[in-house]
Structure 1
Amino acid sequence: MGDVVRAPWDAYFVTGFDVCSEVLRGRNWLAPDFAWQERQEDTERWDAIATQEMTKTLSRLNAPAHTCQRRSLGNLSGRSTIQRLTPQVEQDVTRLLDELAEKLRRGEADFVSTVSEQLPISTIGSWLGIPPEDYPHILEITHNQVHAQELLPTKSELAVSAEATMHLRAYFTEMVKQRRANPGNDVLTGWIHTWDAMEPDREAADEILYRLTMFVAIASLETTATLLSSMVALLLREPGRWAWLAEHPGYIDAAVDEALRYDPPIHINTRIAADDTVLAGVPIAKDSMVHVMYGAANHDPRRNDAPDAFDIERTGTHLTFGGGVHYCMGAALARLEARTLLAQLLKRFPTLRAVTGPSYAPRLVFRRVTSMSVAI
C-alpha cells in the first residue's frame, strides 16, 4: 500500500524501513507531549489518568526536558553497567533454569511464567533494589498499565490502566522516599544525588525521580519478556534449528537479533510532525500523527531479503530498538539477558521442544506472550 498509508483516523501508518528510520531519527518528528495534546480538538482522548501519567515519562518528552532527564540516568547501556550486571544476570538465569528443569522432570512447563517473565524483573529489580517479594505485584500492575499505550484503548481498558497507574505511582514514590532516607550503594541512590545537585526543589526532584525509576522499571519488563519468549518459540518452531544453534553457538547473538527483527516486542510507535512536511511523497501537516510500524519496517524486502523467513545467518538490520534521541536505553541489557538465557538453555536442554506455540494478548502496540508450553 506504500511507505506512508492514511490511517482510518486522523493519522498515517509509516511502513517502509528507510522512511521509518527517517521519522525515528529526524529532529522534526516529536513525541506526542502535553504541548501537542493541548492543541488537539479532541482532548478527552488524552485526559485519561494513565495517559497523563505516561506523558510525563521519557518516552513522551521532547528536548530540552528529555535531554536533561535522559542524561541524568547515565549510560544505562554502557560497558561498565553491562559488566556490573552480567554476573547477576547469569546467576538469575541459572536459578530460573533450575526451576524449569524441576518442572520439566514432571512433564510440561510454561516457559513464560517460569522463565521469560521472571528474568527481566529479577534483573531490573536487583539493580534498582526492589525487594524480590514485590516482583509479582510489579509484574501484575505493569501488565495492566500498558493498555493506556495502545492506539485506541477502550474505556474499560483505560479504567484498568488508571488503577494500575495509581499503584505504580504509590509504589515508586515510596521507593524513592525510602531510598532517600536510607541511601545505599545502588543506582537509585546515585540518581538521587544527581537530581539533588540539579534541582534545588526537593519535592520537584523526587517527582522526577519517581517518574524515571518507574519508567526504567516498567519499560524493561514486558518488552524483554516478550523477546525471550518469541526468541525461544521461533528457534523451536522449525525442526533441527535448535540443535543447529547448539552446535554453532557463535550464532547466538545473530539469533537474538533475528528474533528482534522478525517479531519485535513493540510493533508501533507514534511521532508528531513538528512542521508541514512531505514524507515519502505524501504531504503531512504540522501536528499530524504518524505511526511507525516496526514490524513492517523490519520485513521490508528492500532492506532484508526474504524477510518473512526466520534466518539465523541473516546479515540484515532492524529498527526494533528505535532510533535517534529516543533510541532504547535498555538495548544492551535486553541483548545481555537474551544471549545469556539462550546460551544456558542450549547447553542444559538440548532436546527442548514446544508443546504449544506462544499465546499472545490481544494488543497492537505492546506485544505480550501470555503462555508457551515446553517439554523435553
Structure 2
Amino acid sequence: MTAVGVIRGTTSDRRVVIPLLRRLRSDEGQADPLPVWDELRALGDVVPAPWGGYFVTGFEACNQVLRGRNWLVPDFAWQERQPDPARWREPARREMTRTLSRLNPPEHTVQRRALGNLFDRGTLEELRPRIAAHVGRLLDRLATRLRDRGEADFVDTVGDRLPIHTVGQWLGIPDEHYPHILDFTHRQVHAQELVPTKSELAISAEATTEMRTFFTSLIAHRRADLGDDVLSDWIRYWDARYPLDRAAADQTLYDLTMFITIASLETTATLLTNAVWFLTQDPARADRLRRHPEEIDDAIDEVLRYDPPIHLNTRFAAADTVLGGVSVAKDTTVHVLYGAANHDPRRNPDPHVFDVHRKGGHLTFGGGLHYCLGSVLARLEARLLLTELLERFPTLRPAGSPTYANRMVFRRITSLKVTT
C-alpha cells in the first residue's frame, strides 16, 4: 500500500503546523529536523498550511507532485492570479521566477532543449581531471591548516570552494570573482524562503543587484571576445535565435548563466559537508569506505536521502484534483517536504538509521521536468572529493557539530570544524 493510501490527510486545522515550523527554523530544529519531520508526517500525507495550500510529507504523495504533469511551478502567470500579486514583485523574487526552476512549458521546454544534456558523459570526462586537480589543491590546504592549527573549518577550506571552482572554470569565470559570487549567492537566497521578512527581502534585493551587474558584465565581455567555452556557445545560440532582439538574447543568457551558476553552489557545498559529517563520525564506516571505494556512490545517495540540501519545494495544482485523499483546488500551492518524504518508513524502513548499504530511494534531486540539471556533476564532485579525502586523512573526524543558517528551504551548513 502506498504512502498516499495509508495515511492520507488527517487534520483540517491549519494552525497545528505553526509550532512545528517554528521548531524547524530553531537551532534545535536545524541541528536535528528528524523529529519535526516525523510529527509533520504523522499529521497526514497532505497537511494544511497556515497561509493556505498544503505541506506534502509522504514519499509517494511527494513523488506524485514532483513527477505529475498536473502540478506546475509558481510562474509569473500564477503570481499575477493571486489576491495579493504585489508580494511577488520584489526584485529578488522576480529574478528567480525567470529561471528554469520557475518556468513551465512551453517556455521551460524551449530553454531546456537549447541546453541539451549539459553534463553528458563527454563533458564529465572533460571536467573530471580539472575537478580532481582542484580537490588535490583544496586537500593540500586542509592538510596545512590541520598541521598548523590542529583543526580546520571544512566549509571554508573545502566545502564552499569546490563547487564554485567547478562551475566557474566550466563557464570560464576568472577565479578572482569566486568570493564575490559566493557572497551574493548566500544573501540572495533569502527571497526563496517560504515567508521571508522585510529585512531578508532587502538583503536579497541588494544581492540581486550585485548579481545582475556581475553576470551582465560577464556576458558582455564574453560576447566581445568569444571563445571555445560553454558560455560562448550559449551566446552564439541565443544571438542567432534572436537576431533582431539583442535585449531578449541578453535576458535569456543572463537568466541561464546566473541560475546555473548559483544553483550549483550551496546545494553541492551542503552535500559535500554533510558527507564529511556523516561519514567520518564513525571511524569504522570511514575505514570501510576507504577500503571499498566502490561503495562511495551508495554512501553519497544515503547522505542525500538522510539530509537533503533542499528541504522544501513548491508546486501548484494546474486543475482541481485530489492528493492523498484531500481535494486540492486549481492554483492551490503544495509544499513538498523532501526530508519528511525521504524519511517515510513506508519507503525506507528504519529511516533514521544512516545506512550506507540501504539501497533506498530519495527525492532529493526532484523529479519530472524539473529534475536537477546538475545532479550528475554534484555526484562526481562528491565522489572525487570523498575518495581522496578518505585516503589522505584516515583519522579525520568532526571536532564538533555543524552550525546551520537559519532557513527552512535551502539547507546550508555555515561551519564544520574537523581534526585528525
**CA offsets, 1:199-234, max 9 Å, x none?**
221221011101100000000000000000011101
Aligned to 2:122: 80
Aligned to 1:95: 137
* TM-score, with structure 2 as normaliser: 0.88
Instruction: Say if 2:209 is the partner of 1:131.
Output: no
Superposed counterparts of 1:13-92, under 5 Å: 13-92=55-134
Aligned to 1:338: 382
- Give the aligned length: 376
Cα separation, 2, equivalents of 1:281 and 1:186: 50
**CA offsets, 1:239-267, max 9 Å, x none?**
42212221221210000110000000001
Superposed counterparts of 1:1-376, under 5 Å: 1-106=43-148, 107-200=150-243, 201-376=245-420
**Is the contact made by 1:264 and 1:320 (CA closer than 8 Å) also made in structure 2?**
yes
Cα separation, 2, equivalents of 1:124 and 1:97: 19
**Is the contact made by 1:2 and 1:15 (CA closer than 8 Å) also made in structure 2?**
yes
SS of structure 1 residue aligned to 2:313: strand
Cα separation, 2, equivalents of 1:64 and 1:88: 36
SS of structure 1 residue aligned to 2:260: helix
Cα separation, 2, equivalents of 1:145 and 1:128: 21
**Is the contact made by 2:283 and 2:395 (CA closer than 8 Å) also made in structure 1?**
no
SS of structure 2 residue aligned to 1:240: helix
Structure 2: runs of 5 or more not aligned: 1-42
Give the aligned residue type for 1:278: V
**Is the contact made by 2:57 and 2:341 (CA closer than 8 Å) also made in structure 1?**
yes
* TM-score, with structure 1 as normaliser: 0.99
Residue 322 of structure 1 and its aligned partner are, at CA, apart by: 0.3
Cα separation, 2, equivalents of 1:243 and 1:363: 33
SS of structure 2 residue aligned to 1:67: helix
Cα separation, 1, equivalents of 2:91 and 2:336: 25
**Is the contact made by 1:15 and 1:296 (CA closer than 8 Å) also made in structure 2?**
yes
**CA offsets, 1:133-169, max 9 Å, x none?**
1100000000000000000000000000000001111
Cα separation, 1, equivalents of 2:311 and 2:135: 27
Q: CA RMSD of the aligned region, Å?
A: 0.8
Q: Please list every run of at least 4 consecutive aligned residues from structure 1 whose deviation after the TM superposition is greater than 4 angstroms.
A: none
Cα separation, 1, equivalents of 2:228 and 2:116: 15
**CA offsets, 1:153-197, max 9 Å, x none?**
000000000000011111001111111100011000111111122
Structure 1: runs of 5 or more not aligned: none
SS of structure 1 residue aligned to 2:414: strand
**Is the contact made by 1:75 and 1:81 (CA closer than 8 Å) also made in structure 2?**
no
Residue 23 of structure 1 and its aligned partner are, at CA, apart by: 0.5
Give the aligned residue type for 2:117: N
Cα separation, 1, equivalents of 2:197 and 2:350: 37
